[in-house]
Amino acid sequence: MDRERLDKLEEFERILNYTFRNKDLLDRALTHRSFMNECQADSVRDNERLEFLGDAVLELCVSHLLMKKCRDAPEGLLSRMRASIVNERSLARMARHLCVGQFLLLGKGEEASGGRTKNSILSDTLEAVFAAVYLDCGFDETCAFIARLFSPLIDNCGEGLPRRDYKSGLQEKSQARFKVVPRYRLIDESGPEHDKVFKVEVSVSDIVSKTGVGKSKKEAEQHAARKALEEIEGSVKTTTRHP
C-alpha cells in the first residue's frame, strides 16, 4: 500500500471516528470488483466477501439495539423497524454522509458510469466497512460503532408504526370479564424537572394490582396496564387448560 493510499484511508478513519488496527481490512472494504478486474494484480481483493459478512453483522447489531430500546415491542414490529433502517436507500444515505464514494477504488468503466454515486455500490461498500470493523475489533466495539452512526434512526424508527394500546386493552378486558374499569393512581414522582420518572399503580377492583414506571404519566400507565393485562390474560389461559 503506497503512502498516498494510506493517507486517504487515514482521512476516512477520521470521518468514521475509528482507527483500524489492520488497515488492509479497510482498504479491501473500499475496493470494488471492477477495480480488481481491471488491475489484475494477485494482491488486490475486492470487497464482496466482506459485504456478505457486513450485511449479517449490521442486521445483528441493529436487532440487538432495537431489542434493548424497545423491550416490549413484538417480533413483527421489531422486524418492520429493522427494515426501515437496514435497506439500500438508508445505507446509501449514510454512506454519502460518510463520503464513502470519495475513498472507493473503482474500475475506469464503473467510474465513467457514475459508480461513486450509485445507491447499490455505496450501500454494499458500507456493509463491507462494517465487516472490516467487526474483523478488526470484534462484536461489542462494532455494535457500539454502529450505534453511534445509527442512533438517530434507531431512536426515530418507531414513529408512525402501530403500537399496542395496553390501557385500552385492559379496559376492554376488565369490563368484559369483571364488569369494572381499571383505576390509575400516581404513587411516586422523582428526579429533576427535565428528567422525571413517574410510578403509577393500576388496579382492577381487588382482582389485579400492578405498578409501572415511565418518563411520563402516560408511559407509566401503559407499563402498568401491560403488566395487569398480561396477568389477566395469563390467568385466562391457565383456567382454560385446567377447568
Our answer to whether residue 127 is catalytic in this structure is: yes
Q: Which residue has the cell 387448560?
A: 241
Helix (H) or strand (E) holding 87: none
Q: How far apart (Å, rounded) are the C-alpha atoms in residues 112 and 99?
A: 18
The residues facing 211 across adjacent strands are 201
Q: How far apart (Å, rounded) are the C-alpha atoms in residues 124 and 218?
A: 42
Q: Which residue has the cell 494484480?
A: 41
Our answer to whether residue 140 is catalytic in this structure is: no
Name the pairing type of β-strands 183-190 and 197-204: antiparallel
- The half-sphere exposure of 126 on its side-chain side, counting CA atoms within 13 A, is 30
Q: Catalytic: which of 46, 51, 55, 221? A: 55
Q: Catalytic: which of 51, 127, 201, 221? A: 127
| Catalytic residue ranges | 55, 127
